[in-house]
Structure 1
Amino acid sequence: MTALTEEFDSRFAQARQIADAVLFEGYVLYPYRASAAKNRLRWQFGVLVPPGWGEDSGEHSHQRTECLMESRPGDRLAVELRFLRAQRRTVERALPGGGFEPVEELELADRVLVPWDEGVEERIELLVPVPEPAERVVHPFRLLAGEDIEILHEEDVPIGRLVRRRESVEGVLRLTARAVPGPYAVQRLTVVVENTTVRTAAPADGREAALQHSLVSAHLLLGLDRGSFLSVTDPPEWAREAVAQCRNEHTWPVLAGPPGRCRVLLSSPIILEDHPSIAPESPGALYDATEIDEILALRTAALTDREKREARGTDERAGAVIDLADSMPPEVLERLHGAVRGLREITGNAPGRPWWDPGDDPEADPEHDRVVVDGRQVGAGSRVVLRPGRRRTDAQDLFLDGRTALVEAVLHDVDGSVHLAVTVEDDPGADLWRAQGRFRYFQPDEIALLEEP
């Protein structure tokens, strides 16, 4: 077993851009301060806790990646396990007579320091010949506990210090490869990552104690010298049955690197598509893929000076986000507003009408179409009682439960579903909504037809 070669390191470079996004997703969220409620529950993805810790919490001590590969004689398999290791940072102020004492906050000219768990990036690398069918590669690893101290100065006078402590973490990588029956020279590769750290405290001590010995945001990069991996998401027809038998636990493998190349595979706790890439408009990491970059950048730039100092004191990465938002030129911010990835010609539509316009479909007539509800015809002009379904995600609809409404139109969407456009009776703005064509929408099983007087 050896470290990765320069060739593999270069081949992994593009995949690492995506892997970094996975590694740090949710690391620190807007408003990027430790005091924010959303930053008090940390580490949401790919956490491998010590054995026994996750039995009652739903977290796990292992992840299993299984995929198909077409290796060549003499092929080598490169494996890179990447994860964050929690590092507890405490803040201490200098005492007048010498020494230090812990504090909850230490104000500096440019930042406000607070206790915080930092994430230290760790990599476990190995390069081995593709395992033979009867061979099992086992690679244990151990990261020792440690402590670092950083003295803080202002005007060359020590005013405090940061103490960073890391706990020990132990784990193991297990690799096997077995031939898949059939006419094709395909192997099923299985890679298991397991946290084997011996517990030093009881599970009752809570998740915070377990995180100090965990592999956080754990994911794998796999590479072949000359062979290739098969897509698990969209395999060739001849391999679909074999791919369906692959068992992936707490992770999902996708092809990585440029489209058309299949020598690198990324297995991550966040489900991605094959050949994922970072949007070229993205100016840098914001650590929250569930938000819109433009909104995050604008809201971050609008933070008060005090809030920005708190963010800079929370984490260096949070400080980098603040600096990015403050220095973003207008032309870069404008690119975040949206992008067109591709265009295609639509034919067969009436001039000037988009393909989704009901007026372009001669069979669609929202004002006269009817739908059957409980054996009775419902259409424009029908009076109904609203019964919003629990599956609806719009909480405002639930406030209309039991209200009467007037059906304005019956609409069919491109997926074949039927929707009833309604205005709520006794709504003083109903005429205005009707004039603007703005309605509330319910499915047929969410209404009951009223008896006509």
Structure 2
Amino acid sequence: MNLQLVERIAAAVLYEGYILYPYRPSAVKNQQRWNFGAVCPESYSLAQGGTEAWTMQTECLATGSEHATLDVKLRFLHLLTREVGVPNADWDQRIADCGDSETQSSISDSDLNVVASLEVGGKIFQTWQEAIEREFCAPSLELGTLVAQAQRLSFDFPSSRALEQLRDEGGQIVGVIVRTQQSVEGAIELSAARAGEGLFKITARILNTTPLEDAKEKSRDDALMRSLVSTHTILGVREGELVSLLDPPDALRERAAGCSNVGTWPVMVGDEGERDCMLSSPIILYDYPQIAPESAGELFDGTEIDEILTLRIMTLTDEEKREMRGADERTRQILERTEMLPAEQLMKMHGAMRSVRPRGEDER
């Protein structure tokens, strides 16, 4: 398995749509984010009549004996709110009188006036949302074990609250960034069924079991704070092989068509021809997806072309660049990478030729 390639593809899926051009929170297209792979709390899904999913299911085929081993890794983004606040009049002295650990616990929301943005030292800090990468690895399990008994594996990530002080050139506290994250709880259900001689159907089901009180009254943004976002699953098989669902052998075509995938799209990943790893993605991909070698880095917008996005970033006004720089650490990296991009690197993005393969008879 080419683990490095698999991880790069998985990372691209994880951040697809994270923020779109023009990479500013004020842009209309960035007002509703997190549209891919959202697995919401069960109570919220039921309150919405099932329009928001609380489960994600992957089904695929594997060949081998019952001693073939399955490895499953769940990855998603865990959202947090980032609020920029201006302290009340008596707050600064109280901060000076206590240590950092005491500060975290002693400051409440009433001590701050939350603002949309705040400029400090020539930098813009904005109230918005951020995300932390999460992953859960299931223990290795033999297919025979999963045939005999399905496994349910629970996971949870706790809530958190952190403060970051913003000081002016004189060292005075003029603002605070408060990052708040709600807890999430969930489970992976793994099972396997014999589908023929030396053939197994594997099912991996992800559930969001996070409690959410008064779910009917909650907004989508409220629910997303307790959701798994950009959710995807990496499945690996040892002592066996996975079967492509997009291009299965003729003998297994009917079996492959019978796999039920809900909210996800499993494809083969790794080097071309390898059959030991599959990425179950919330966006549609082809088998063995590749990242263009000309790409200088992530742009989070797979519907666009790197060259076009890069040229557009170069034409942003100074004010637009300031907002982009202050939106998020990742947008700052995009801007700085683009501004320092050598001309020869930009030319590599232009007019790249890709090899093509002939279509089969059944594709014509």
TM-score range, shorter chain: 0.7 to 0.9
Q: Contact conserved, 2:65 with 2:198, CA < 8 A, in 1?
A: no
Confirm or deny that 1:151 pairs with 2:165: yes
Give matches, 1:239-258, under 5 Å: 239-258=252-271
Q: Give 3-state SS (helix, strand or coil) of 1:226's partner.
A: strand
Given residue 15 of structure 1, which amino acid in structure 2 is its aligned partner? V
Confirm or deny that 1:235 pairs with 2:228: no
Confirm or deny that 1:163 pairs with 2:213: no
Matching residue of 2:155 = 141
Matching residue of 2:193 = 178
Matching residue of 2:123 = 111
Matching residue of 2:6 = 15
Q: Contact conserved, 1:130 with 1:177, CA < 8 A, in 2?
A: no
Given residue 158 of structure 2, which amino acid in structure 1 is its aligned partner? L
Confirm or deny that 1:309 pairs with 2:322: yes
CA distance in structure 1 between the partners assigned to 2:357 and 2:58 by the alignment: 37
Matching residue of 1:90 = 83
Residues 78/338 of structure 1: CA separation in 2 closer, same or farther (3 Å cut):
same
CA distance in structure 1 between the partners assigned to 2:174 and 2:310 by the alignment: 33
Shift of 1:53: 2.1
Shift of 1:122: 0.5
Shift of 1:341: 1.5
Shift of 1:33: 1.1
Matching residue of 1:191 = 204
Q: Give 3-state SS (helix, strand or coil) of 1:127's partner.
A: coil
Higher relative contact order (CA 8 A, sep 6+): 2
Matching residue of 1:28 = 19
Q: Give 3-state SS (helix, strand or coil) of 1:332's partner.
A: helix
Spell out, residue by residue over 1:385-414, the C-alpha distance to the aligned partner (whole angstroms, 9 max, x if none): xxxxxxxxxxxxxxxxxxxxxxxxxxxxxx
Shift of 1:13: 2.8
Gaps of 5+ in 2: 93-111
Q: Contact conserved, 2:2 with 2:271, CA < 8 A, in 1?
A: no
Q: Contact conserved, 1:12 with 1:221, CA < 8 A, in 2?
A: no
Q: Give 3-state SS (helix, strand or coil) of 1:160's partner.
A: strand
Shift of 1:197: 1.2
CA distance in structure 1 between the partners assigned to 2:49 and 2:321 by the alignment: 38
CA distance in structure 1 between the partners assigned to 2:182 and 2:38 by the alignment: 16
Spell out, residue by residue over 1:39-87, the C-alpha distance to the aligned partner (whole angstroms, 9 max, x if none): 1111111101111423347220011100001234543221110001110
Given residue 22 of structure 2, which amino acid in structure 1 is its aligned partner? P
Confirm or deny that 1:324 pairs with 2:337: yes
Q: Provide the aligned C-alpha RMSD in A.
A: 2.1
Give matches, 1:398-409, under 5 Å: none
Given residue 123 of structure 1, which amino acid in structure 2 is its aligned partner? E
Given residue 116 of structure 1, which amino acid in structure 2 is its aligned partner? W
TM-score by length of 2: 0.87
Given residue 90 of structure 1, which amino acid in structure 2 is its aligned partner? E
Confirm or deny that 1:265 pairs with 2:302: no
- Pick one of 348, 356, 364 that aligns with 1:335: 348
CA distance in structure 1 between the partners assigned to 2:207 and 2:214 by the alignment: 19
Shift of 1:108: 2.5
Matching residue of 1:37 = 28
The structure with the greater share of residues assigned to helix is: 2
Q: Contact conserved, 1:76 with 1:127, CA < 8 A, in 2?
A: no
CA distance in structure 2 between the partners assigned to 1:57 and 1:92 by the alignment: 36
Q: Contact conserved, 1:203 with 1:210, CA < 8 A, in 2?
A: no
Give matches, 1:409-424, under 5 Å: none
Confirm or deny that 1:214 pairs with 2:214: no
- Based on CA coordinates, which of the two structures has the bigger radius of gyration? 1
Given residue 249 of structure 1, which amino acid in structure 2 is its aligned partner? V
Given residue 65 of structure 1, which amino acid in structure 2 is its aligned partner? T
Shift of 1:111: 2.6
Given residue 47 of structure 1, which amino acid in structure 2 is its aligned partner? A
* Identity fraction in percent: 39
Residues 110/16 of structure 1: CA separation in 2 closer, same or farther (3 Å cut):
farther
Confirm or deny that 1:70 pairs with 2:63: yes
Shift of 1:16: 1.6
